Amino acid sequence: MRADYVIVGAGSAGCAMAYRLSEAGKSVIVIEHGGTDAGPLIQMPAALSYPMNMSLYDWGYSTLPEPHLNGRRLVTPRGKVIGGSSSINGMVYVRGHAGDYDHWAESGAQGWSYADVLPYFKRMETWHESGQGGDPDWRGKTGPLHISRGPRDNPLHAAFVEAGRQAGYPVTSDYNGEQQEGFGPMEMTVHKGRRWSAANAYLKPALKRENCTLVRGLACKVVTDEGRATGVEIERNGRKEVIHASGEVILAASSLNSPKLLMLSGIGPAAHLAQHGIDVVADRPGVGQNLQDHLELYLQMASKQPITLYKYWNLFGKALIGAQWLFTKTGLGASNQFESAAFIRSKAGVQYPDIQYHFLPIAVRYDGKVAAEGHGFQAHVGPMRSGSRGEVTLASADPKAAPNILFNYMSTEQDWIDFRQCIRLTREIFDQDAFAPFVKHEIQPGAALQTDDELDGFIREHVESAYHPCGTCRMGALEDPMSVVDSDCRVIGVDNLRVADSSIFPRITNGNLNGPSIMTGEKASDHILGRSLPAANDQPWFNPNWERSQR
């Protein structure tokens, strides 16, 4: 088996690259360990808590005991299925803030500023505006990835945005357009009532071309010869075989599996590789380092009125929603229920938002456990730019073994300051007049917890990953010893090998990472093909009073 390009991982970035490279006439083989994404549990947006918790679709990774969170092991779902994590995620679509990408460029990722990436966001999108505002000039109209908004029928969605306005924050009609900062509608990768994963958007159309093939198997290592990548060793049906690349090997296996594969292939910190008896091909100390994530809390309120989604939280209600969705692809089953959102700044002197909100008209956890109080609603809140950094390392030289994952969450004093601020600002929003008809009392953390110490105790026990791991194969300047790939996504020190997925992010972007991961695949494809879209001139909005005021 041989192709011009061998891509490891049929996830957000891998699917986009398979589509663009095959579109350009190149032969492509995509290697994916996971199976089919067919079936309602993946395709029905409202069923999102199921695939994320199923070993059929998820690698099943968890962290080592996190030292600053009472030794808790946090689950770290990654998609092991066609579409990768875009097939098991919450379908929230966020591009990230302009300031994030400008920071990338300033930190050594030349050609990845906001002006450089915006044309790729536009190329990949078809934006369905749905009469809720926003400027179409900032959005794409003809891309494979369909972006839509929920109906926002529940009065709690309007109450959340109005409460934000009453608290003095801006309102934005499109956080993915000119102005991210503020309260407004949330966007999702849902099209005609179905999850619009990278598999549906990119891979399935690509596989209809004769020059694009999907191979099911576990990638074990990149095969190299005298410092250049020549193929990928996979295991399938109990046998090892090599898929050969005439052009390049491209890793898009996730921020957890891409560094693992590099290290198994002899590319990584030399001393660490030696511990596992792996011959060093390239000593890159940055491989597996710089691991980042977003953490979040749910602030839950009991509802005075029985208007929340709790009324469907029973066998009959779920069956009704499921049946309506199966036959018509409409109704509550056609939304992820995250229909209102906000991005705000935590204090004066912060240039652009560093706190994100997802609002949900039910009090429920990611694992599907609903609040004992019955009717309630919640805001997911967390800081965007934690200073904590962790690492992905090998537990063993066996490709079947899970890597060691340690995020080192909450390891800086600023993390604690930021999270306390998140809780206090959220309480203030729920205290506005807009919520007076709805708020009965605070379920979690509970009004009794007020002091820094009390809030810290709650944070330590209840903070959860937002499942946005990234940064472990950092893109940066050639002379920076911690860079793993250059600005063209080429692995430094090995020819014909690239990494293009969320692992190359120098720093985590604002919000959910599926959008930026797909953009990375889109842009990397152009780097591989030796072309690029012209930079954009659009000027994003920064709060003119950011130095003096928090809102």
Buried b or exposed e, range 65-87, using 16+ CB within 10 angstroms: ebebbeebebbbbbbbbbbbbbb
358 is catalytic: no
Q: Do residues 163 and 434 lie in contact, with contact meaning Cβ atoms separated by under 8 Å?
A: yes
How far is residue 259's CA from residue 288's CA, in Å, rounded to a whole number?
Answer: 5
Residue with tokens 């990548």, as numbered in its chain = 229
How far is residue 355's CA from residue 183's CA, in Å, rounded to a whole number?
Answer: 12
**Interhelix angle 413-430/452-462, nearest 10 degrees:** 100
For the chain, report the end-to-end CA distance as a whole number of angstroms: 58
H or E element: which one contains 359? strand 355-360
Q: Do residues 4 and 246 lie in contact, with contact meaning Cβ atoms separated by under 8 Å?
A: yes
Q: Do residues 218 and 264 lie in contact, with contact meaning Cβ atoms separated by under 8 Å?
A: no
Q: Do residues 5 and 21 lie in contact, with contact meaning Cβ atoms separated by under 8 Å?
A: yes
Name the region of 403 (left: φ>0; alpha: ψ -120 to 50; beta: rest).
beta
CA neighbours within 13 Å on the CB side: how many for 313?
20
- The one-letter amino acid at 171: V
Residue with tokens 């990234």, as numbered in its chain = 470
Q: How many CB atoms lie within 10 A of CB 427?
A: 16
DSSP codes of every residue in 284-350? -TTTT-SBB--EEEEEEEEESSS-SGGGG-SHHHHHHHHHHHHHHS-SGGGS-S--EEEEE-SSTT-
Residue with tokens 């749905």, as numbered in its chain = 130
Residues in CB range of 467: below 8 A, 6 or more apart: 52, 76, 77, 85, 89, 293
Indicate which residue of 272, 375, 468, 527 is catalytic.
Answer: 468
Instruction: List C-alpha distances in Å: 83 to 54, 185, 258.
Output: 15, 26, 16
How far is residue 97's CA from residue 384's CA, in Å, rounded to a whole number?
Answer: 11
Catalogue the active-site residues.
468
